Chain A
Amino acid sequence: MPGFRTSRRRLFSRKARAEQVAGVGYSALVTVAPMIVVIGAIFVSEWFLNYSQVRYYDRGLLAGTQLYLFIFSLLAVAPFNAVISKYLADAIFEERFADILPCFYGGMVLNVAFGNLFAIPFCVHEYLVGQVPLYYVFTGFCGFNALVLVFYSMVFLTVTKDYLRITIFYAIGMAVMVGLALVLHALTNLSIPYVILLSMVTGFTVVATEEIALVQSYYRENSGNYKKFFRSFGTNWKLIPINFLYTLGLYIHNFVFWSTPQRTIYANSFLTHTAYDMASSLALFTNISVTVAFLAWVEMTFHKRYKAFSEAIIGGRARDIRIARDRMFRTMSEEVMSLFRVQFIITVIAFLFCIVMLPRVGLGGETLRMYNCLAAGYYILFPMYSEMLLLYYFEDLTGAMMTSASFCFGTFAGSIWSSGLPDIWAGMGLVIGALIAFTVAFFRLHWLENHIAEHTFCKGTIIERVGKEKPTGKVFQKQ
């Protein structure tokens, strides 16, 4: 009965998958959390260092550098991190702990190499064409690699759920940043923007070092089985476009606006659209609570139903499976609607707060006009992401890929169109992309509800598949 054991293992692995989904969600959260912490640290540093006296160009160059560091380091780790996360979850579930370090080192090399494939030519361009001093370029380059390592190591640490320690790492890193900025400013003649950049890069290097050390302290054995790890990219290839297109979709509308005539270019290298970039950051923070609420809901409510469904699949009668399935999908639709309602209230309050408060701190005009539509876009985007996580839950990678692709391409096309509209409609590209993807994911979940039996029981193989023609059965022919 070869199939029995295989099927059971696959079904039991749903527990690991739940953790993986939580991990993916948490990753999303912690990619935002550093931003908040860093923005805070940068504000503190700038306040102490009397940043307002710095000339406009230097401030723009630093802002552009910081923006590029964050966006492109996130994009650099996006293709591989999801596959690595899946491999890690499987290795832990199967108790192949010695396979984790090969995955960690292999993934590190992949991410750093892939990131530098684009970072090095950019830095050369920044230095040669943009005439930016070499030390400044090099510091930015180091910062990029430090952030790649920070975002990469985070995948491994989310699995350990040692959130407190991660938070402490960030606190230490940012304390180092602020402290170093003050020391350098007091003791050296370095320019204020460079002091901020250098201290920020140092802060992130500290965080990366701490995270890597922690990973190594958790997983000490090394099987040296790199082949298995790299092969997993072939098996889980769909995760590459899913994560990359989703992350790209998050920023592609910014890229479109960076190509409009209203953009600003620093050092012939950093394209930005200050108003749009600022508006999209504000819109993101307005709606970020959806992700937090979703993760809490997944852990508290949906996971219970899902677990009951999984248990019914493993050892239940068909009627038990049907009852568990109906309960699970009913809970899912009820909770998603509830999530929408709660988020709507939060968004409206946050939106009103921004509308009232932002002009008072000098953020009005174009930024505020663009903010309206973008806030709506993110309001749709995050529930869409929640749907995508549900598709992950059901291991529907095809559905997740359809969602992320429609989000990315929809946002891209929509943004090209909306970039020619008045400021108030500038964010329509994101609204369109998120709405299309939300609809795709919604119907895919609905389709899954109707085809959950096939989706659950028709996955995998019963015997090894060989992509060759079957050899002839004739083994003897008399001459």
Chain B
Amino acid sequence: MRICFVSEGCYPYVTGGVSSWIDSMIKTFPEHEFVLLSVIADRSKRGKFVYKLPENVTEVYEVYLNDVDWTGGAGRNRRFRLKPKEYEAMRSLLLNLNVDWETIFDLFHDRRPSLNSLLMGPDFLRICTELYDRRYPDIAFSDFLWTNRSIYLPLFQTMNSDLPKADLYHCVSAGYCGVIGCMAAYLNKGRLVLSEHGIYTREREEDLIRAKWVQGVYKEIWIEQFRKISQLIYDRAEVVTSLFGHARELQIELGCPAEKTRVIPNAINIDKFKDLPGRLPEDDGYVNIGAVLRIAPIKDVKTLINAFAFAKARDSRLKLWLMGPGEDPKYEKECHEIVETLKLKDCIFTGRVNVHDYLGRMDFLVLTSISEGQPLTILEGFAAHKPSIATDVGCCRELLYGGEGDHFGTAGILTHIMNIQEIATAMLDLAASPERTKAYGENGYRRACEYYRLPLLKESYRQIYDNDSKKEQ
């Protein structure tokens, strides 16, 4: 079977949880051929893979959210007008009235309109005017119009792209990659599966609420847009998976039919963590705290460093290992500056490393993210018998304290996000009682063996994928 993974801003361009998951999925199913359809920011990232592609990946396609308007020959599409059916479909999209996505897909696939001509054209203006008159007659029209153009530009960019043929389109998030997954499945009569690691709509909502570049009613308009495009794949996917129970509840709350939903947790190959190198002589007298993360704002590394500084002042044995690449140079620089300003000793930025070389040396792990799905780093820690301190985001509570029917006990300490004192106290607690730390680590190990083993994940997705094979027979 030819399976197309549709992803946004991750594999094979960026390392991270979702990327690792896709990579392991592809390797888990060597009997299938995989094609990648990746939504990325712009052409500057073209072909810059950070993963070695597995043997069964045969093609990679890119879709750019920021791209120029390729008009082909001079003047082509300059006076683009929508046909009546297309106009009605576009109207249904903008007004969010029972959207006729099929016509929209056909429009972009068959006519490949110039986006300038479409967005700057009279048809789009007319529909925007109608939307404005109906719902927002008291705001500045010009701002409203340009906001709508900005909103629909990335969506239309994605739909104006080459889409590979496949038997099954496996989207790893809703949003833009959900839309092109649906479009590709519609055009090529393929099956559609959605596996959400985070809840796309909810994450975008949180981003928008925090954002300063968008204000007032426009936040609402943007949020509605993300809900609208996510609803598309909730409606069309035959299976919608999530990593944990609460995420599934959110999906249902956001409009996904409950009967489609399924919880398939992340999984790891526990055997790979069996014979990790242990502590080195240089580790004597230290309590090693590992943080396997990208140096990125979403991981809230600044809080982690501050918390470590707070703890270090009380227990000089503590040593923090920040293991992972930088993502945002400015943020990374600021993190280094905090370390310098605090004159903080024993805070080590390793950069990108093979985690297996370090995990065995750690006493426990820490993760201070402000948003997570089901972090692989905690599971990998469990596989290495290491407990974790984690913020109460995503599935961390379930991982550390166990879900319904799980009696393995506590496997770490949960804290509130951005709470330096709580995180520091947790560090000191675990450092002060090695027995407890070890017990937590064992609890985590047993939990990982029971619920997060790779064969479980493989079996779940085999069932989903094989559904197609059965149909073919």
Across the interface, which residues of B come within 8 angstroms of A464, CB to CB?
68-69
Chain B 68-90 interface 0/1 with A at a Cβ cutoff of 8 Å (1 = within): 11111110000000000000000
**B70 and A1 within 8 A (CB):** no
Separation of A466 and B77 alpha carbons in the complex (Å): 12
- CB pair A465–B162 under 8 Å, yes or no, is no
CB neighbours (8 Å) of B30 from chain A are: none
Chain B residue nearest to A460 (CB atoms) is: B120
Q: Hey, which chain A residues are within 8 Å of B69, CB to CB?
A: 461, 463-466
Interface assignment of B145: CB less than 8 Å from any CB of chain A: yes
Given known A-B contacts A7-B146, A11-B142, A462-B120, A467 and B61 have beta carbons under 8 A apart? no
Partner-contacting stretch, out of A38-46, A355-363, A469-477: A469-477
Q: Mark B51-71, 1 if CB is under 8 A from A, else 0.
A: 001000111111100011111
- Known contacts: A465-B71, A478-B58. The answer to whether A3 contacts B116 by CB under 8 A is no
Q: Does A315 contact B (CB under 8 A)?
A: yes
- Of B59, B142, B153, the contact of A315 (CB 8 Å cutoff): B142
B162 engages A472 (CB within 8 Å):
yes
A317 on the B face (CB < 8 A):
yes
Closest-CB distance, A2 to chain B (whole angstroms): 7
Residues of chain A from 1 to 47 with CB closer than 8 A to chain B in the complex: 1-4, 7-8, 11
The contact sample of 26 A-B pairs, CB cut-off 8 A, is A1-B146, A1-B147, A1-B150, A3-B149, A4-B146, A7-B146, A313-B142, A317-B140, A317-B141, A318-B133, A318-B137, A321-B141, A454-B125, A458-B125, A460-B120, A461-B116, A462-B116, A463-B67, A463-B68, A465-B69, A467-B71, A468-B70, A471-B70, A474-B61, A474-B164, A475-B46
In the assembled complex, the Cα of A316 lies from the Cα of B140 at a distance in Å of: 5
A319 lies within 8 A of B121 (CB): no
CA of A316 to CA of B143, assembled, Å: 9
If the complex has contacts A466-B71, A470-B70, are A475 and B57 also in contact, measured as CB distance less than 8 A?
no
Q: Are B213 and A476 in contact (CB under 8 A)?
A: no
Residues of A close to B57: CB separation below 8 A: 476, 478
Q: Which residues of A contact B119 (CB under 8 A)?
A: 462
* Residues 132-163 of B contacting A (Cβ, < 8 Å): 132-133, 137-143, 145-147, 149-150, 153, 160-162
* Residues in A neighbouring B162, C-beta threshold 8 A: 472-474
Q: Is B115 an interface residue (CB 8 A)?
A: yes
Given A474-B59, A475-B60, verify A462-B149 contact (CB < 8 Å): yes
Q: Which residue numbers of A lie inside 8 Å of B, CB to CB?
A: 1-4, 7-8, 11, 313-319, 321, 453-454, 457-478
Hey, which bits of chain B sit against chain A, CB under 8 A?
A: 36, 46-47, 49, 53, 57-63, 67-74, 112, 114-116, 119-122, 125, 129, 132-133, 137-143, 145-147, 149-150, 153, 160-162, 164, 213-214
Q: Are A453 and B120 in contact (CB under 8 A)?
A: no
Across the interface, which residues of B come within 8 angstroms of A477, CB to CB?
Answer: 58-59
Cα distance, A476 to B161, chains bound together (Å): 16
Q: Which residues of B contact A472 (CB under 8 A)?
A: 162
**Contacting residues, chain B, for A4 (C-beta < 8 A):** 143, 146-147, 150
A-B contact count (CB 8 A): 122
Extra A-B contacts (9), CB below 8 Å, given A463-B116, A464-B69, A466-B68 = A1-B146, A4-B146, A457-B142, A463-B69, A463-B115, A463-B153, A473-B63, A474-B59, A478-B59
- List the A side residues contacting B74 at CB < 8 Å: 467
Nearest B residue to A464 via CB reads B68
Residue of B nearest to A319 (CB): B137
Interface pair B114/A465, CB less than 8 Å apart: yes
Closest B-chain residue to A474, C-beta based? Answer: B61
Given the complex, which residues of B lie within 8 Å of A469, measured CB to CB? Answer: 70, 72
Candidate in B49, B69, B160 with the most chain A CB atoms within 10 angstroms:
B69
Residues on the B chain within 8 Å of A463, using CB:
67-69, 115-116, 153
Are A457's CB and B145's CB within 8 A? Answer: yes
Chain B contacts of A3 at CB under 8 A? 146, 149-150, 153
Contact, CB under 8 Å: B141 / A318: yes
- Give the distance in Å from the alpha carbon of A466 to the alpha carbon of B125 in the complex: 23
- Residues in A neighbouring B60, C-beta threshold 8 A: 474-476
Task: Give every chain A residue within 8 A of B120 (Cβ-Cβ).
Answer: 458-462
A134 to chain B, nearest CB (A): 49
Tell me, in angstroms, the Cα distance from A11 to B132 when the chains sit together: 20
A478 and B55 alpha carbons, distance in the complex (Å) = 9
How near does chain B come to A141, taking the closest CB pair, in angstroms? 41
Residues of A within 8 A of B59 (CB): 474, 476-478
Check A316/B141 contact, CB under 8 A, given A475-B47, A475-B62, A476-B60.
Answer: yes
Interface contact A317-B137, CB-CB below 8 Å = yes
**Of the residues B62, B114, B147, contact of A473 by C-beta under 8 Å:** B62
Neighbouring A residues of B114 by C-beta, 8 Å: 465
A193 to B189, CA, bound (A): 89
**Assembly CA distance A318 to B141 (angstroms):** 5
Closest-by-CB residue of B relative to A313 is B142
Distance between Cα atoms of A441 and B63 in the complex (Å): 46
- Scoring B36, B53, B63, B145 by chain A CB atoms within 10 A of each residue's CB, the highest score goes to B145
Residue of A nearest to B61 (CB): A473
CB distance from B134 to the nearest CB of A (A): 11
Q: Which A residue sits closest to B118, measured CB to CB?
A: A462
With both beta carbons as reference points, the residue of chain B lying nearest to A318 in the complex is identified as: B141
Cross-chain contact B142 with A7 (CB below 8 angstroms): yes
Minimum CB–CB distance for B61 against chain A, Å: 5
- For residue A326, give the distance in angstroms from its CB to the closest CB of chain B: 15
A476 contacts B70, C-beta separation under 8 Å:
no
List of B residues within 8 angstroms of A453 by Cβ = 125, 129
Q: Which residues of B have CB within 8 Å of A473?
A: 61-63, 161-162
CA distance A464 to B122 in the complex (A): 19
Chain B nearest CB from A3 CB (Å) reads 4
Rounded to whole angstroms, the CA-CA distance of A57 and B46 in the bound complex is 77
B143 contacts across to A, CB distance below 8 A? 4, 315
Contacts of A315 in B (CB 8 A): 140, 142-143
A317:B125 contact, CB within 8 angstroms: no
Q: Looking at B62, B68, B125, B141, which has the most chain A CB atoms within 10 Å of its CB?
A: B141
Residue of A nearest to B161 (CB): A473
Can you name the residue of chain A whose Cβ is closest to the Cβ of B70? Answer: A470
Chain B positions within 8 Å of A457 at CB level: 125, 142, 145
The reply to whether A466 and B70 form a contact with Cβ atoms under 8 Å apart is yes
Chain A residues with Cβ below 8 Å from B67 are 463
Q: How far is the CB of B128 from chain A (nearest CB, A)?
A: 9
CB contacts (< 8 Å) of A2 on chain B: these are 150
Task: Find the B residue at minimum CB distance from A461.
Answer: B116
With A and B bound together, what is the CA distance between A464 and B116 in angstroms? Answer: 8
Q: Across the interface, which residues of B come within 8 angstroms of A458, CB to CB?
A: 120-122, 125
In the complex, chain B residues whose CB is within 8 Å of the CB of A460: 120
Most buried by B among A7, A460, A473: A473
Residue of B nearest to A465 (CB): B69
Alpha-carbon gap, A338 to B450, bound state (A): 91
Among B72, B112, B214, point to the contact of A468 (Cβ < 8 A): B72
How far apart sit A201 and B153, CA to CA, in the bound complex (Å)? 60
Kindly list the 10 A-B residue pairs having the minimum CB-CB distance in the complex, ordered from nearest: A470-B70, A476-B60, A473-B162, A318-B141, A478-B58, A461-B116, A3-B146, A475-B47, A454-B122, A464-B68
Complex-state Cα separation, A460 to B146, whole angstroms: 12
Closest B residue to A476 using CB positions: B60
Complex interface: chain B residues within 8 A of A468 (CB): 70-72
Q: Closest CB-CB distance, B140 to chain A, in whole Å?
A: 5
Distance A454 CA – B72 CA, assembled complex (angstroms): 25
Closest A residue to B138 using CB positions? A317
Taken together as a complex, chains A and B put the C-alpha atoms of A315 and B60 apart, in Å, by: 45
Contacting residues, chain A, for B68 (C-beta < 8 A): 463-466
Give min CB distance, A49 to chain B, whole Å.
Answer: 59
The distance in angstroms between the C-alpha atoms of A17 and B139, with both chains bound, is: 27
Q: Which residue of B lies closest to A2 (CB)?
A: B150
